[in-house]
Structure 1
Amino acid sequence: MNAVKKWCAVVLGLVAAGAHAQSMQIPKPSEGLMPNPGRGKSLFAAQCAACHGADLKGSDKGPPMLHKVYEPSHHGDPAFQMAASRGVRAHHWQFGDMPPVPGVTPDDVAHITAFIRMEQRKVGIR
């Protein structure tokens, strides 16, 4: 394949990927929901701690949430919604892909995220 054809294939691939990403809807919590870190703490314990650690410091199954890679400017709140609803491919860590979390609603994720953000602020992650 000559250079022009390779370039066209790359461009078409990027356009297709962008169109796919734009068609993905980010789950949203209920309008007017006030995320509650206390509720998020219990939801985190039930749904997330087995992999991310009860202390949010990770485990042999999943990464720590108290790490700069999860600061809001790098992984914003919508990233948590997407990860819970659709899963996420491994890209920062070598724990493998994260599967979707069945039964966790966007409201649940908003509460969990509020808890994680509160704990991150306590250790200086802003």
Structure 2
Amino acid sequence: MKKTLIATGGVALAVVAGFVMFGGGADTAQEPVAALEGAALVQIIVPEVLSENAAIGKRGFDLYCAQCHGPNAVGQDGVAPPLVHKIYEPSHHADESFQRAVAQGVQAHHWTFGNMPPVQGLSRADVALIIAYVRELQQANGIQ
């Protein structure tokens, strides 16, 4: 009797451990996980080597864009969208779209982050270098 009770208790313990470790139960599999505000919205591959223009553009991106669009343009939950995303592929948002967004700002139309204000202190040449950086990130992630 004692052996049967121990064996039954061991099986029950194993079943409970399995549910805890592997998220068993229909209720837990259906619950959404809330992202933390500011958390990256996409995971990307960062190229090991950037072209000279993209390397310069990265410095500009880090100074002017990363505070909203996150490091390496991965976006930030509740702040701004990722630029390494199919929506921003060159056939949908050409380089001039980025130039205009920086110069004039842009009304929200793909995302619910709100409008983007103009970015002061960047010339068209500066933005072209930042675009080169974003495009190389996109290419490294299959967005062309």
Instruction: Decide: shared fold, TM above 0.5.
Output: yes
Helix, strand or coil: the match of 1:64?
Answer: coil
Structure 2, gaps ≥5 residues long: 1-51
1:107 pairs with one of 106, 125, 141: 125
Q: Compare CA radii of gyration and give the structure with the larger one.
A: 2
Whole-Å Cα distance in 1 between the matches of residues 116 and 80 of structure 2? 8
The one-character-per-residue Cα deviations of 1:1-20 (angstroms, maximum 9, x if unpaired) are xxxxxxxxxxxxxxxxxxxx
CA distances 1:8-62 after superposition (whole Å, capped 9, x unpaired)? xxxxxxxxxxxxxxxxxxxxxxxxxxx8101100000000001111131101311
The one-letter code sitting in structure 1 at the alignment partner of 2:130 is I
**Paired letter, 1:48:** C
Tell me what 2:61 maps to: 44
Q: Indicate the residue corresponding to 1:93 in structure 2.
A: 111
Runs of 4+ off more than 6 Å: none
Q: Which residues of 2 match residues 20-59 of structure 1 at below 5 A? A: 36-59=53-76
| CA deviation vs aligned residue, 1:80-125 (integer Å, no higher than 9, x gap) | 0000000000000001000000111101100000000000000000
Could you state the TM-score of these two structures normalised by the residue count of structure 1? 0.71
Instruction: Give the equivalent residue in structure 2 for 1:20.
Output: none
For residues 3-82 of structure 1, what are the structure 2 equivalents within 5 Å?
Answer: 36-59=53-76, 60-82=78-100
The alignment covers a number of residue pairs equal to 92
Q: Mind listing any 5+ residue stretches in structure 1 that lack a counterpart? A: 1-34
CA-atom RMSD in angstroms? 1.0
**Matched residues, percent identical?**
50
Code of the aligned partner of 2:93: H
Letter in 2 for 1:75: H
